[in-house]
């Protein structure tokens, strides 16, 4: 069920975290009503909060979002990966860090691909990378890594979607190393990206996101 419309015409963003080294899992955050005029300070806040819409409506800027129905994609026979916590679905994909401004298709939205495949931003594509971030040291569990990745990407998504302002629902994702890769290889890189859907058959992006 989609969240109710905001008081203004701003873009709406739902938070997703995606783990992409051995296991890919989706965990849903909330829905944020971000508008072009939502605050004069473009710097992301520590907690990723968004300012109210310019509408006189008293609707809050955050609304819970229901967990999506995620596609079941079978693991390859040779994989020893286990599903991530929080009841997330999981698929095996190789580690990839996408540069800001690059667009791609993702297995969670396009089941015909088995890895992140870069696409032209001027054509149909699942997502666009907006920032690269770095996880801190000392995280010990998958859930800690997920929450840290979500916290890094949320303010970036809020800020970027102020320029979209089209009233549509958007999802933000974090592409991050899973627990095993984080602990054993020292991989800390996170790619923050935005999409129009969180499941196969959903809406696609068809042009670069406005700056």
Residue with the bigger pLDDT between 126 and 49: it is 126
Q: What is the pTM of this model?
A: 0.64
Mean pLDDT, the chain, integer = 69
**191 assigned to some structural domain:** yes
- The pLDDT, as a whole number, for residue 164 is 86
φ and ψ of 146, to 5 deg? -60, -50
- Within 8 A by CB and 6+ apart from 161, the residues are 10, 11, 13, 32, 34, 170, 194
In a domain, 211, yes or no: no
- Res 166 pLDDT > 80: yes
Beta strands 127-134 and 117-119 are: unpaired
130-148 mean pLDDT: 93
Average pLDDT over residues 19-25: 39
Cα dihedral 98, 180, 139, 28 sign: positive
pLDDT digits over 57-97, tens only?
A: 343 333 434 434 434 434 334 333 333 333 344 444 677 88
Q: Is residue 205 part of a domain?
A: no
Whether the CB-CB separation of 161 and 38 falls below 8 Å is answered with: no
Give a yes or no: residue 3 inside a domain.
no
Residue 26 is assigned to a structural domain of this protein? yes
Is 100 contained in some domain?
yes
Residue 141 pLDDT > 80, yes or no?
yes
- Residue 131 counted as domain residue: yes
Q: How many independent structural domains does the chain possess?
A: 1
Residues 178 and 23: beta-carbon distance below 8 Å:
yes
- Structural domain range at position 122: 11-195
pLDDT band for position 37 (50/70/90)? Answer: very low
What residues form DSSP beta bridges with 34? 11
Q: Which range (40-49, 109-118, 151-160) has the least confidence?
A: 40-49
pLDDT, position 10: 56
The three-class DSSP label of residue 95 is: coil
Within a domain: 105:
yes
Please give the pLDDT value at position 17.
56
pLDDT at residue 105 greater than cutoff 90: yes
**17 Cβ contact partners less than 8 Å away, ≥ 6 residues apart:** 25, 26, 27, 29, 146, 147, 149, 150, 153, 173, 174, 176
């Amino acid at each position: 069920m989609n969240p109710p419309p905001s008081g203004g015409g701003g873009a709406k963003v739902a938070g997703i975290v995606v783990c992409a080294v051995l296991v890919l899992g989706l965990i849903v955050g909330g829905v944020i009503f971000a508008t072009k005029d939502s605050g004069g300070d473009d710097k992301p806040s520590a907690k990723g909060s968004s300012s109210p819409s310019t509408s006189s409506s008293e609707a809050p800027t955050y609304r819970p979002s229901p967990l999506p129905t995620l596609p079941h994609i079978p693991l390859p026979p040779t994989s020893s990966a286990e599903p991530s916590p929080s009841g997330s679905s999981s698929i095996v994909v190789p580690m990839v860090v996408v540069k800001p401004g690059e667009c791609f298709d993702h297995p969670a939205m396009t089941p015909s691909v088995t890895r992140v495949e870069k696409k032209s931003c001027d054509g149909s594509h699942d997502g666009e990378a907006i920032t690269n971030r770095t996880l801190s040291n000392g995280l010990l569990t998958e859930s800690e890594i997920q929450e840290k990745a979500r916290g890094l990407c949320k303010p970036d998504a809020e800020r970027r979607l102020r320029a979209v302002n089209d009233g549509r629902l958007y999802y933000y994702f974090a592409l991050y190393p899973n627990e095993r890769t984080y602990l054993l290889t020292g991989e800390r890189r996170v790619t923050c990206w935005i999409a129009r859907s969180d499941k196969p058959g959903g809406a696609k992006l068809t042009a670069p996101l406005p700056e």
